[in-house]
Amino acid sequence: MNVAELIRRKRDDGRLTPEEIRALIAAYTDGTVPDYQAAALLMAVYFRGLDGDELDAWTGAMLHSGDVVDLSDLPGPKVDKHSTGGVGDMISLALAPLVAECGVMVPMISGRGLGHTGGTLDKLEAIPGFRVDLTVGRFRAQLSKLGCALIGQTERLCPADRKLYALRDVTGTVESIPLIASSIMSKKLAEGIDALVLDVKVGSGAFMKTLDRARELARTLVAIGNGAGKRTTAVLTDMDQPLGRRVGNAIEVVEAILTLQGRGEPDVREVTMSLGVEMMLLAGLADDAAGARARLQKAIDSGAALERFAAIVEAQGGDRRAILEQRLPTVPTSSVVIAARAGRVQAIQAEEIGLAALALGAGRAKKEDAIDPAVGIELLRKVGDEVGRGEPIAALHHRDDRGLEEARRRVERAYRIGDEPAKPKGERPLVIEVLK
């Protein structure tokens, strides 16, 4: 295999064969192909893309670079959900136990946050004692008992993706749709699922800033999933302002708890229910959307979904009281950000809020950075809310002065307050469309 020749061919908009792609991925995974050649190939893919056959081969090569979990002996439909990342996006924490309570088996393997988007694993680890590093044996046993397990990527699951993602992160190739899609789908297909629901975010707080790009990513993901024999649905949801009112780790767990108590924010409830409906339909556990929504609502109203969350937390080493009594990490200090003028909140730039939380220590700029689970931002005003001059628009929950002034400046920049109607006619809805 002449790697330089393959790089030149892709650079010049040529096509790689499935055999060449499989050999390249295998050689990079075992260290035969060095980082500098892999980086050149990634940049060629970034500019030239991958056609359908190349993308299928690329995804399959990453999928089979390590272990593939087999859950076929466990009864019931196995359905997972994946989000492309946003700000205040704690949906998985409420959604997984909710649909598990309704009979869907959820083998959820999640990731950590990097940059302005929070990671599900970081939020789960804000729960005292919670372990995300289950063995495959414990993962299977918990699925059989509770219908849901929430873990991180193991060393043997898609090792090619782990190496390639780290390289993409430092070579400016993260935003490539074929590379995003193959990264997501290789990990999800390795979970042993029967079906998958994808929450593709679009807007200022998402990787996909425009609806056209989000649709392209969604269609690519759905095509890979369906082509692999997994029923796949993508739901496009708005991320022009943060979800809910809390951005951080422990405080986003609180948002999930409130949602399962039926007291969460309307936008969080709607996205949770919409994705839950699609998971129920893919699992064949409801005849239509109305029936699925009714079952999900009953699980919330009865308290069974919250109890299921507490049971999952306990099974993974956490304190169930953290869920039932909100015993979660807190910080002793809060500072408010005030409105510079009176009016109505027109917009909240979600990425700025995410970067403000990062400045306080709620996220990581580099993979080795430590996260403070207790810090974060509470949005006291959302789009459409009225506010007077000098009134608080957000609360910064901080442990010390680390990043406090930067966070304050970013929150001030994120809020746009004016006199016009906050939702002009024609603005896109929270749940934009569903692609299958």
Q: What is the DSSP string of 117-159?
A: B--HHHHHTTSTT------HHHHHHHHHHHSEEEEEPPTTS-H
Instruction: Report pLDDT for 199.
Output: 97
**Which ranges of the chain have pLDDT less than 50?**
425
| Residue 78 annotated to the active site | no
Q: Which of 315, 313, 406, 316 is nearest to 356 (CA)?
A: 406
How many Å apart are CA 199 and CA 265, to the nearest integer? Answer: 18
Given 3.90.1170.30, 3.40.190.10, 3.30.70.580, 3.20.20.70, which CATH number is that of 333-418?
A: 3.90.1170.30
Fold of 3-49: 1.20.970
Instruction: Report pLDDT for 412.
Output: 98
Look up residue 194 and give its two tokens: 């029967």
Tell me if 79-325 shares its fold with 333-418. Answer: no
Instruction: Report pLDDT for 236.
Output: 98
Instruction: Report pLDDT for 170.
Output: 83
Instruction: State how far the alpha carbon of 129 is from the alpha carbons of 124, 135, 160, 349, 354, in Å.
Output: 10, 16, 30, 34, 26
pTM comes to: 0.93
Catalytic residue, chosen from 65, 83, 176, 183, is: 183
How many Å apart are CA 264 and CA 261, to the nearest integer? Answer: 7
pLDDT digits (tens, 9 = 90+) for 286-324: 999 999 999 999 999 999 999 999 999 999 999 999 999
Catalytic residue, chosen from 10, 140, 187, 410, is: 187
| Residue 398 annotated to the active site | no
How many Å apart are CA 322 and CA 306, to the nearest integer? Answer: 11
Instruction: Report pLDDT for 424.
Output: 54
Catalytic residue, chosen from 168, 231, 295, 364, is: 168
Instruction: Report pLDDT for 35.
Output: 95
Domain spans, the chain: 3-49, 79-325, 333-418
How many Å apart are CA 115 and CA 364, to the nearest integer? Answer: 6
Please count the other Cβ atoms lying within 10 Å of the Cβ belonging to residue 369.
Answer: 11
How many Å apart are CA 51 and CA 106, to the nearest integer? Answer: 31
How far does CA 385 lie from the centroid of its chain? 27
Catalytic residue, chosen from 80, 122, 161, 194, is: 161
Rounded to the nearest 10 degrees, how much is the dihedral formed by the CA atoms of 29, 32, 35, 37? -120
CA-based Rg of the chain, rounded to a whole angstrom?
Answer: 22
Instruction: Report pLDDT for 325.
Output: 95
| Residue 187 annotated to the active site | yes
| Residue 183 annotated to the active site | yes
Query: Collapsing DSSP states into helix, strand and coil, what is residue 95?
Result: helix
Fold of 79-325: Pyrimidine Nucleoside Phosphorylase; Chain A, domain 2 (3.40.1030)
Catalytic residue, chosen from 22, 48, 82, 201, is: 82
How many Å apart are CA 336 and CA 391, to the nearest integer? Answer: 9
Instruction: Report pLDDT for 213.
Output: 95
Instruction: Report pLDDT for 88.
Output: 93
Query: Collapsing DSSP states into helix, strand and coil, what is residue 7?
Result: helix
| Residue 10 annotated to the active site | no
